[in-house]
A = this chain, B = another copy of it.
Amino acid sequence: MSTFLLTEDPIDPAAFTLALRRDEAGGYCSFEGWVRNHSDGQAVLGLDYQAYLPLAETEALAVLSEAETRFDILAASCIHRIGTLAIGDMAVWIGVSAPHRDAAFTACRFVIDEIKRRVPIWKRERYASGHSEWIACHEIMDGS
């Protein structure tokens, strides 16, 4: 039902979007994360992403599966890019189909929030100043 892909190539969601189509689907919500040219007031030149592949896949699929359990949706998928990205590049894509729009929006938001919170993917920002820095989005999670 749900698909997750980690890729070093530019993201092309076309085939993934097609796979979310259902005759019972009345709403489709998607989110794309793009590399933007600034972060906390600093000019950004680009991003580098690393991922711990096997665990990222397990964890992202768990997020998608949770979304399908918690919300009245038909299917949800995600593609995350890794490697070196330039301004404007798509870093992540999420698509959700549902009978009605409310669940499509809520589930899509849930998936991007959880992906950011718990999937082992890391982003380094390269600044115009020459400096670069690994960004930390999560703080302590739970006891594990």
Residues of A participating in the B interface, judged by any CB pair closer than 8 Å: 21, 23-38, 87-88, 97, 99, 101, 104-105, 108-109, 112
Contact = CB atoms under 8 A, between A and B. Distances in A.
A101 B137 CA distance: 14
Contact of A36 (B23, B29, B38): B23
26 contacts: A21-B88, A23-B36, A23-B87, A23-B88, A24-B36, A25-B34, A25-B36, A26-B33, A26-B34, A26-B35, A26-B36, A27-B31, A27-B32, A27-B34, A28-B34, A30-B30, A30-B31, A30-B32, A31-B101, A31-B104, A31-B105, A34-B97, A36-B99, A101-B112, A105-B108, A105-B109
A138 to B, nearest CB: 16
A116 to B, nearest CB: 9
Copies in the complex: 2
A35 to B, nearest CB: 8
Contacts of A112: 101
A26 B53 CA distance: 24
Given A23-B88, A36-B23, A101-B112, A31 B31 contact: no
A17 B36 CA distance: 16
Given A24-B37, A26-B35, A29-B29, 13 more contacts: A23-B36, A26-B34, A26-B36, A27-B31, A27-B34, A28-B34, A29-B108, A30-B30, A31-B104, A101-B109, A105-B105, A105-B108, A105-B109
